[in-house]
Structure 1
Amino acid sequence: MAKISAEENYFSAKKAMSVETQLSAILKNLEISPELVKTICEGEIDRDFIVALNALRQKLNSMKEYEEIENFKAVEEMKPIYDLARLKASHRSRDFLLAKIKEIRNLTLDLNEFQNKELLKYKTLDYFLIERNPEAAIEVCDTYINTARQYYFDNFDLYKNALTRVITGQLDREIKFGSSGESVVSMLFRTTKNIANPKLNGIFNQTGAESSKQNYFSMGTRGLAIHSLEKNQLKAIDIESSGKQLFIEDVFYQFNLALSENSKKEYQFISKFFSVKNNKTSNVEIEMKKMIFMHVFEPIFTIGKELVSNYILNSFDALGILMCISSIAKIQTDLHFETVDNYFHSLSMLLWPRFQTLIDLHVERLAKLSSDKKVSSFRFNSYPHEVTRQFADFISSIIKISECFDSTVLLAGMGRMRNGMNNLLKKLSITSKDKEMEKVFLVNNYDQILIIFKENEVDGGNPENKNI
Structure 2
Amino acid sequence: MWLDRLAGQSTSPAPSQPGSRSYSPAPRRTTSGLGPYITSQQRPGLGITPRSSSLSLASSESSASSFLASSKRANGSTLKESRTIYSGPDPIEILSTVLGDDKQHEGSATKAAAESVSSISAEDLQLEFDFGGLSIRELALSEESAVDGVGVYRPQAAEEYDRDKAKFEDLHRSIQACDEVLGSVEVNLDNFRNDLATVSADIETLQARSTALNVRLENRKSVEKGLGPVVEEISVSPTVVSKVADGHIDESWVKVVAEIDKRASSHKKNASNAQGSKGLQDLGPLLEKLVLKAIERIRDFFVSQIKALRSPHINAQIIQQQNFLKFRDLYSFLHKHHSALADEICQAYLNTMRWYYANQFARYENALRKIKLHSLDKTDVLGNEDMSRKGTVLSSSKIAGPPHDAFNLGRRIDLLRTNNTSALSSYLAEEDQSTHYLEVPFRNFNLALIDNATAEYTFLASFFSPALSYSAISRHFTYIFDPTFQLGHTLTKTLIADTYDAIGVLLAVRLNQHFQFELQRRKVPAADGYLNGTAMLLWPRLQFIMNAHCESVRALTSALPTRPPTSKAEQGKLSAAPHVCTQRFGQLLHGILALSTEAGDDEPVVTSLGRLRSEVEAFLTRYSTAFGNDRRKRERFLYNNYSLILTIISDTHGKLAVEEQEHFEGLKTAFQEAA
Same fold, judged at TM 0.5 (above): yes
User: What SS class does the counterpart of residue 371 from structure 2 fall into?
Assistant: coil
> 2:636 matched to which residue of 1?
440
Q: Does 1:409 align with 2:588?
A: no
Counterpart code for 1:365: S
> Residues 173 and 58 of structure 1: is their aligned pair in 2 closer, same or farther, counting only changes over 3 Å?
same
Deviation at 1:295, TM superposition (A): 1.2
> 2:583 matched to which residue of 1?
389
> Residues 317 and 461 of structure 1: is their aligned pair in 2 closer, same or farther, counting only changes over 3 Å?
closer
User: What SS class does the counterpart of residue 436 from structure 2 fall into?
Assistant: coil
Deviations 1:34-67 (A, max 9, x none): 1111111111111221121111111111111122
Asked if 2 retains the 8 angstrom alpha-carbon contact of 1:126 and 1:137, the reply is: yes
> 1:354 matched to which residue of 2?
541
> Residues 230 and 332 of structure 1: is their aligned pair in 2 closer, same or farther, counting only changes over 3 Å?
farther
Deviation at 1:371, TM superposition (A): 1.4
User: What SS class does the counterpart of residue 309 from structure 1 fall into?
Assistant: helix
Using the TM superposition, name which of 245-254 and 291-300 deviates more. Answer: 245-254
Using the TM superposition, name which of 151-160 and 230-239 deviates more. Answer: 230-239
Which sections of structure 1, spanning at least 5 residues, go unmatched? 1-17, 187-211, 278-283
> Residues 375 and 258 of structure 1: is their aligned pair in 2 closer, same or farther, counting only changes over 3 Å?
farther
> 1:322 matched to which residue of 2?
506
Deviations 1:170-191 (A, max 9, x none): 33444222434322289xxxxx
Deviation at 1:114, TM superposition (A): 2.6
Deviation at 1:105, TM superposition (A): 1.6
State how far apart, in whole Å, the 2-side matches of 1:285 and 1:100 are.
23
> 1:452 matched to which residue of 2?
648
Asked if 2 retains the 8 angstrom alpha-carbon contact of 1:396 and 1:453, the reply is: yes
Asked if 2 retains the 8 angstrom alpha-carbon contact of 1:384 and 1:444, the reply is: yes
2:237 counterpart (33, 39, 47): 33
Deviation at 1:29, TM superposition (A): 2.0
Asked if 2 retains the 8 angstrom alpha-carbon contact of 1:313 and 1:351, the reply is: no
Deviation at 1:219, TM superposition (A): 1.7
Counterpart code for 2:548: L
1:159 counterpart (349, 364, 367): 364
Deviation at 1:81, TM superposition (A): 1.4
Q: TM-score, normalised by structure 1?
A: 0.83
Deviations 1:392-414 (A, max 9, x none): 11111111122243244211111
State how far apart, in whole Å, the 2-side matches of 1:71 and 1:169 are.
85
RMSD: 2.7
State how far apart, in whole Å, the 2-side matches of 1:233 and 1:461 are.
32
Q: Does 1:420 align with 2:420?
A: no
* 1:233-252 matched pairs, under 5 angstroms: 233-252=423-442
Q: Does 1:364 align with 2:364?
A: no
Counterpart code for 2:535: S
Q: Does 1:216 align with 2:406?
A: yes
State how far apart, in whole Å, the 1-side matches of 2:648 and 2:582 are.
10
Deviations 1:329-353 (A, max 9, x none): 1122234232211211111111111
* 1:197-212 matched pairs, under 5 angstroms: none
Could you say which structure has the greater relative contact order, defined with CA pairs below 8 angstroms and 6 or more residues apart? 1
Which structure has the larger Rg?
A: 2
Using the TM superposition, name which of 53-62 and 383-392 deviates more. Answer: 53-62
Asked if 1 retains the 8 angstrom alpha-carbon contact of 2:375 and 2:390, the reply is: no
> Which protein is richer in helix relative to its size?
1
Which sections of structure 2, spanning at least 5 residues, go unmatched? 1-221, 392-401, 665-675
Deviations 1:153-196 (A, max 9, x none): 1111111111121041133444222434322289xxxxxxxxxx
> 1:53 matched to which residue of 2?
257
> Matched residues, percent identical?
27
State how far apart, in whole Å, the 1-side matches of 2:339 and 2:236 are.
23
> 1:462 matched to which residue of 2?
658
2:494 counterpart (310, 320, 325): 310
State how far apart, in whole Å, the 1-side matches of 2:488 and 2:661 are.
33
State how far apart, in whole Å, the 1-side matches of 2:374 and 2:360 are.
26
User: What SS class does the counterpart of residue 222 from structure 1 fall into?
Assistant: helix
State how far apart, in whole Å, the 2-side matches of 1:229 and 1:304 are.
23
State how far apart, in whole Å, the 1-side matches of 2:288 and 2:305 are.
26
Asked if 1 retains the 8 angstrom alpha-carbon contact of 2:461 and 2:473, the reply is: yes
* 1:132-281 matched pairs, under 5 angstroms: 132-184=337-389, 213-228=403-418, 230-276=420-466
Deviations 1:286-312 (A, max 9, x none): 111111111111111111111122232
Asked if 1 retains the 8 angstrom alpha-carbon contact of 2:439 and 2:504, the reply is: yes
User: What SS class does the counterpart of residue 99 from structure 1 fall into?
Assistant: helix
